[in-house]
Structure 1
Amino acid sequence: MLGHDEGRPRRVAVYGTLRRGGSASELMTPLVTVREDDTVLAGRLYDTGQGYPAFLPGASPDGGDRGVPAEVYVLREPERALPVLDRYEGPDYVRRVFTLRDGRRCWVYVWTRPVTGMAELPWGWCRS
Protein backbone atom coordinates (compact mmCIF):
# COMPACT_ATOMS: atom_id res chain seq x y z
CA MET A 1 0.00 0.00 0.00
CA LEU A 2 1.31 3.46 -0.87
CA GLY A 3 1.87 6.01 1.87
CA HIS A 4 0.19 9.41 1.59
CA ASP A 5 3.30 11.07 0.16
CA GLU A 6 3.79 8.34 -2.42
CA GLY A 7 0.29 8.38 -3.91
CA ARG A 8 -0.64 12.04 -3.65
CA PRO A 9 2.25 14.31 -2.72
CA ARG A 10 1.78 17.23 -0.34
CA ARG A 11 4.43 19.24 -2.18
CA VAL A 12 4.45 21.37 -5.30
CA ALA A 13 7.51 22.57 -7.23
CA VAL A 14 7.10 25.92 -8.97
CA TYR A 15 9.46 27.36 -11.61
CA GLY A 16 7.75 30.50 -12.94
CA THR A 17 5.27 33.15 -11.86
CA LEU A 18 4.39 31.34 -8.60
CA ARG A 19 7.98 31.57 -7.30
CA ARG A 20 8.80 34.04 -4.55
CA GLY A 21 8.77 37.52 -6.09
CA GLY A 22 6.91 36.26 -9.17
CA SER A 23 3.85 38.02 -10.56
CA ALA A 24 1.51 35.44 -8.95
CA SER A 25 3.50 34.56 -5.82
CA GLU A 26 0.75 35.93 -3.55
CA LEU A 27 -1.49 33.08 -4.70
CA MET A 28 0.82 30.64 -2.88
CA THR A 29 0.69 32.34 0.54
CA PRO A 30 -2.60 30.86 1.84
CA LEU A 31 -1.99 27.50 0.16
CA VAL A 32 1.37 26.51 1.66
CA THR A 33 2.84 25.91 5.09
CA VAL A 34 6.58 26.01 4.42
CA ARG A 35 9.14 26.39 1.66
CA GLU A 36 11.55 23.48 1.58
CA ASP A 37 14.96 23.26 -0.06
CA ASP A 38 14.89 24.37 -3.68
CA THR A 39 15.47 21.87 -6.46
CA VAL A 40 16.43 21.56 -10.11
CA LEU A 41 13.89 19.86 -12.37
CA ALA A 42 15.18 17.69 -15.19
CA GLY A 43 13.94 19.37 -18.34
CA ARG A 44 13.83 22.60 -20.27
CA LEU A 45 12.05 25.92 -19.80
CA TYR A 46 10.74 28.14 -22.60
CA ASP A 47 9.41 31.69 -22.79
CA THR A 48 5.81 31.53 -24.02
CA GLY A 49 5.84 35.26 -24.79
CA GLN A 50 2.72 35.59 -22.62
CA GLY A 51 4.39 36.51 -19.32
CA TYR A 52 4.86 32.95 -18.06
CA PRO A 53 7.16 30.04 -18.90
CA ALA A 54 6.55 26.57 -20.32
CA PHE A 55 8.26 23.56 -18.69
CA LEU A 56 8.97 20.35 -20.60
CA PRO A 57 10.47 17.47 -18.61
CA GLY A 58 13.37 15.42 -19.90
CA ALA A 59 17.11 15.55 -20.33
CA SER A 60 18.72 18.75 -21.56
CA PRO A 61 19.43 18.70 -25.31
CA ASP A 62 23.21 18.92 -24.84
CA GLY A 63 23.24 16.03 -22.35
CA GLY A 64 24.22 18.43 -19.56
CA ASP A 65 22.68 18.45 -16.13
CA ARG A 66 21.66 22.12 -15.95
CA GLY A 67 17.88 21.66 -15.52
CA VAL A 68 15.23 24.14 -14.39
CA PRO A 69 15.50 25.85 -10.98
CA ALA A 70 12.34 25.46 -8.89
CA GLU A 71 11.08 26.24 -5.41
CA VAL A 72 9.44 23.44 -3.41
CA TYR A 73 6.51 24.15 -1.09
CA VAL A 74 4.47 21.96 1.25
CA LEU A 75 0.76 22.43 0.62
CA ARG A 76 -1.40 23.23 3.65
CA GLU A 77 -4.41 21.25 2.37
CA PRO A 78 -3.63 19.63 -0.97
CA GLU A 79 -7.26 18.73 -1.65
CA ARG A 80 -8.14 22.44 -1.52
CA ALA A 81 -4.91 23.92 -2.86
CA LEU A 82 -4.54 21.81 -6.00
CA PRO A 83 -7.85 22.90 -7.60
CA VAL A 84 -6.83 26.55 -7.03
CA LEU A 85 -3.46 25.93 -8.69
CA ASP A 86 -5.09 23.93 -11.51
CA ARG A 87 -7.40 26.86 -12.29
CA TYR A 88 -4.49 29.31 -12.21
CA GLU A 89 -2.33 27.18 -14.53
CA GLY A 90 -5.19 26.64 -16.97
CA PRO A 91 -5.66 24.22 -19.86
CA ASP A 92 -2.16 24.55 -21.31
CA TYR A 93 -0.62 22.68 -18.37
CA VAL A 94 -1.09 19.25 -16.83
CA ARG A 95 -0.19 18.45 -13.22
CA ARG A 96 2.18 15.48 -12.87
CA VAL A 97 3.98 13.79 -9.98
CA PHE A 98 7.77 14.04 -10.11
CA THR A 99 10.36 12.39 -7.91
CA LEU A 100 13.13 14.87 -7.22
CA ARG A 101 16.80 13.93 -7.13
CA ASP A 102 16.69 13.78 -3.33
CA GLY A 103 13.67 11.43 -3.33
CA ARG A 104 10.97 13.96 -2.47
CA ARG A 105 7.80 13.62 -4.53
CA CYS A 106 5.90 16.67 -5.66
CA TRP A 107 3.45 18.03 -8.17
CA VAL A 108 4.83 19.90 -11.18
CA TYR A 109 2.87 21.66 -13.91
CA VAL A 110 4.00 20.54 -17.39
CA TRP A 111 3.32 22.46 -20.62
CA THR A 112 1.09 20.54 -23.06
CA ARG A 113 1.42 22.60 -26.24
CA PRO A 114 4.19 22.88 -28.85
CA VAL A 115 7.17 25.09 -28.01
CA THR A 116 8.06 25.76 -31.65
CA GLY A 117 9.43 29.27 -31.99
CA MET A 118 9.75 29.82 -28.23
CA ALA A 119 13.11 30.90 -26.80
CA GLU A 120 14.69 28.47 -24.37
CA LEU A 121 15.42 29.89 -20.90
CA PRO A 122 18.61 28.02 -19.94
CA TRP A 123 18.93 29.70 -16.53
CA GLY A 124 15.27 29.63 -15.49
CA TRP A 125 12.48 32.18 -15.30
CA CYS A 126 13.65 35.63 -14.27
CA ARG A 127 10.59 37.80 -14.83
CA SER A 128 8.47 38.96 -11.94
Structure 2
Amino acid sequence: MMPDSPPTPRHVFVYGTLRAGGSNDIARFSPAPQRIADGVIAGTLYDLGAYPGAVLGGEGRVQGEIYRITPALEAQLDVLEEVRSDDCGEYIKREVEVRVAGAALCCLVYEIHPDRIAGRSAIASGDWFRRD
Protein backbone atom coordinates (compact mmCIF):
# COMPACT_ATOMS: atom_id res chain seq x y z
CA MET A 1 0.00 0.00 0.00
CA MET A 2 1.33 3.42 -0.93
CA PRO A 3 1.63 6.08 1.76
CA ASP A 4 -0.85 8.92 1.61
CA SER A 5 0.48 11.71 -0.53
CA PRO A 6 -0.02 15.29 0.59
CA PRO A 7 -3.10 16.97 -0.87
CA THR A 8 -2.62 18.87 -4.11
CA PRO A 9 -2.10 22.53 -3.26
CA ARG A 10 -4.94 24.85 -4.13
CA HIS A 11 -4.72 28.50 -5.03
CA VAL A 12 -6.99 31.36 -4.05
CA PHE A 13 -7.37 34.78 -5.65
CA VAL A 14 -8.14 37.41 -2.98
CA TYR A 15 -9.27 40.92 -3.89
CA GLY A 16 -10.45 42.66 -0.73
CA THR A 17 -9.80 42.56 3.00
CA LEU A 18 -7.83 39.29 2.64
CA ARG A 19 -5.12 41.05 0.60
CA ALA A 20 -1.78 41.84 2.28
CA GLY A 21 -2.33 44.75 4.65
CA GLY A 22 -6.12 44.32 4.63
CA SER A 23 -8.25 44.02 7.77
CA ASN A 24 -8.45 40.21 7.27
CA ASP A 25 -4.91 39.84 5.85
CA ILE A 26 -4.67 36.21 4.72
CA ALA A 27 -1.16 35.96 6.24
CA ARG A 28 -2.70 35.96 9.73
CA PHE A 29 -4.34 32.58 9.10
CA SER A 30 -2.76 29.24 9.96
CA PRO A 31 -1.30 27.40 8.25
CA ALA A 32 0.19 30.43 6.56
CA PRO A 33 -0.41 30.67 2.82
CA GLN A 34 2.35 31.21 0.29
CA ARG A 35 2.00 34.32 -1.87
CA ILE A 36 2.47 33.41 -5.52
CA ALA A 37 1.82 36.60 -7.48
CA ASP A 38 -0.45 39.56 -8.08
CA GLY A 39 -3.19 39.00 -10.61
CA VAL A 40 -6.21 40.38 -12.43
CA ILE A 41 -9.52 38.67 -13.20
CA ALA A 42 -12.52 39.70 -15.28
CA GLY A 43 -15.24 41.13 -13.08
CA THR A 44 -16.79 44.12 -11.36
CA LEU A 45 -15.87 45.09 -7.80
CA TYR A 46 -18.59 46.52 -5.54
CA ASP A 47 -18.20 48.57 -2.36
CA LEU A 48 -20.20 46.90 0.42
CA GLY A 49 -18.96 49.23 3.16
CA ALA A 50 -16.31 47.48 5.26
CA TYR A 51 -15.42 45.05 2.47
CA PRO A 52 -15.92 44.51 -1.27
CA GLY A 53 -17.66 41.92 -3.36
CA ALA A 54 -16.75 40.89 -6.90
CA VAL A 55 -19.13 39.75 -9.61
CA LEU A 56 -17.22 37.63 -12.11
CA GLY A 57 -17.15 38.16 -15.87
CA GLY A 58 -17.79 41.11 -18.12
CA GLU A 59 -15.45 43.83 -19.35
CA GLY A 60 -14.21 45.08 -15.96
CA ARG A 61 -11.07 43.99 -14.17
CA VAL A 62 -10.52 43.14 -10.50
CA GLN A 63 -7.05 43.46 -8.93
CA GLY A 64 -5.90 40.88 -6.42
CA GLU A 65 -3.28 38.51 -5.08
CA ILE A 66 -2.81 34.77 -5.54
CA TYR A 67 -1.87 32.47 -2.66
CA ARG A 68 -1.18 28.74 -2.37
CA ILE A 69 -3.36 27.38 0.45
CA THR A 70 -3.98 24.13 2.27
CA PRO A 71 -7.39 22.44 2.62
CA ALA A 72 -7.41 23.53 6.29
CA LEU A 73 -6.99 27.18 5.29
CA GLU A 74 -9.60 26.83 2.54
CA ALA A 75 -12.08 25.63 5.17
CA GLN A 76 -11.33 28.70 7.32
CA LEU A 77 -11.85 31.00 4.33
CA ASP A 78 -15.18 29.29 3.56
CA VAL A 79 -16.36 30.14 7.09
CA LEU A 80 -15.13 33.74 6.89
CA GLU A 81 -16.83 34.26 3.52
CA GLU A 82 -20.05 32.55 4.72
CA VAL A 83 -20.05 30.00 1.90
CA ARG A 84 -23.01 27.62 2.04
CA SER A 85 -23.49 24.36 0.14
CA ASP A 86 -26.76 25.65 -1.38
CA ASP A 87 -25.02 28.82 -2.70
CA CYS A 88 -27.27 31.08 -0.60
CA GLY A 89 -24.45 32.35 1.64
CA GLU A 90 -22.86 35.76 1.37
CA TYR A 91 -20.23 34.51 -1.09
CA ILE A 92 -20.21 31.68 -3.63
CA LYS A 93 -16.95 29.79 -4.12
CA ARG A 94 -15.94 29.65 -7.79
CA GLU A 95 -12.89 28.62 -9.79
CA VAL A 96 -11.29 30.96 -12.31
CA GLU A 97 -8.23 30.78 -14.51
CA VAL A 98 -5.68 33.50 -13.80
CA ARG A 99 -2.69 34.18 -16.06
CA VAL A 100 0.56 34.26 -14.09
CA ALA A 101 3.87 34.72 -15.91
CA GLY A 102 2.32 33.45 -19.13
CA ALA A 103 0.82 30.34 -17.54
CA ALA A 104 -2.78 29.63 -16.52
CA LEU A 105 -3.35 28.96 -12.83
CA CYS A 106 -6.67 27.65 -11.52
CA CYS A 107 -7.71 29.72 -8.49
CA LEU A 108 -10.59 29.73 -6.07
CA VAL A 109 -12.35 33.08 -5.86
CA TYR A 110 -15.16 34.12 -3.57
CA GLU A 111 -17.87 35.81 -5.66
CA ILE A 112 -20.43 37.95 -3.85
CA HIS A 113 -23.98 36.62 -3.93
CA PRO A 114 -25.90 38.75 -6.48
CA ASP A 115 -28.55 39.69 -3.89
CA ARG A 116 -25.90 41.52 -1.83
CA ILE A 117 -24.98 44.17 -4.45
CA ALA A 118 -28.40 45.81 -4.96
CA GLY A 119 -27.94 49.58 -4.67
CA ARG A 120 -24.17 49.29 -4.15
CA SER A 121 -21.58 51.29 -6.10
CA ALA A 122 -19.05 49.69 -8.41
CA ILE A 123 -15.38 50.48 -7.77
CA ALA A 124 -14.21 51.75 -11.15
CA SER A 125 -10.51 50.99 -10.54
CA GLY A 126 -11.29 47.34 -9.65
CA ASP A 127 -8.87 47.78 -6.73
CA TRP A 128 -10.22 47.70 -3.16
CA PHE A 129 -7.16 49.60 -1.93
CA ARG A 130 -7.76 52.38 -4.50
CA ARG A 131 -11.50 52.83 -4.23
CA ASP A 132 -11.57 56.64 -4.44
Q: Same fold (TM over 0.5)?
A: yes
Q: Which residue of 1 aligns with 2:123?
A: 121
Q: Using structure 2 for the length normalisation, give the TM-score.
A: 0.76
Identity %: 36
Q: How far 1:32 moved relative to its partner?
A: 3.7
Q: How far 1:29 moved relative to its partner?
A: 4.1
Partner of 2:76, secondary structure, is: helix
CA distance in 2, matches of 1:83, 1:29: 11
Structure with the bigger RCO (C-alpha within 8 Å, sep 6+) is 1
Partner of 1:87, secondary structure, is: helix
1:36-89 per-residue CA deviation (whole Å, 9 max, x = no partner) reads 11110100000012x0101000112xxxxx5000100001x22x1111001001
Q: Which residue of 2 aligns with 1:3?
A: none
1:68 aligns with 2:62: yes
Task: Tell me which amino acid in the other structure corresponds to 1:121.
Answer: I
Q: Which runs of 4+ in 1 moved over 6 A?
A: none
CA distance in 2, matches of 1:85, 1:33: 12
Larger proportion of strand: 2
* Contact 1:9–1:107 (8 Å) recurs in 2: no
* Contact 1:13–1:107 (8 Å) recurs in 2: yes
CA distance in 2, matches of 1:109, 1:26: 14
CA distance in 1, matches of 2:114, 2:51: 14
Task: Tell me which amino acid in the other structure corresponds to 2:105.
Answer: R
Task: Tell me which amino acid in the other structure corresponds to 1:55.
Answer: A
| Structure 2: segments with no counterpart, 5+ residues | 1-7, 83-88
| Structure 1: segments with no counterpart, 5+ residues | 1-7, 61-65
How large is the Cα RMSD of the aligned pairs? 1.9
1:15 aligns with 2:15: yes
Q: CA 1:89–1:19 in structure 2 vs 1: closer, same or farther (change >3 Å)?
A: same
CA distance in 2, matches of 1:87, 1:33: 17
* Contact 1:9–1:106 (8 Å) recurs in 2: no
* Greater mean alpha carbon deviation, residues 51-60 or residues 8-17: 8-17
Larger radius of gyration: 2
CA distance in 1, matches of 2:62, 2:20: 15
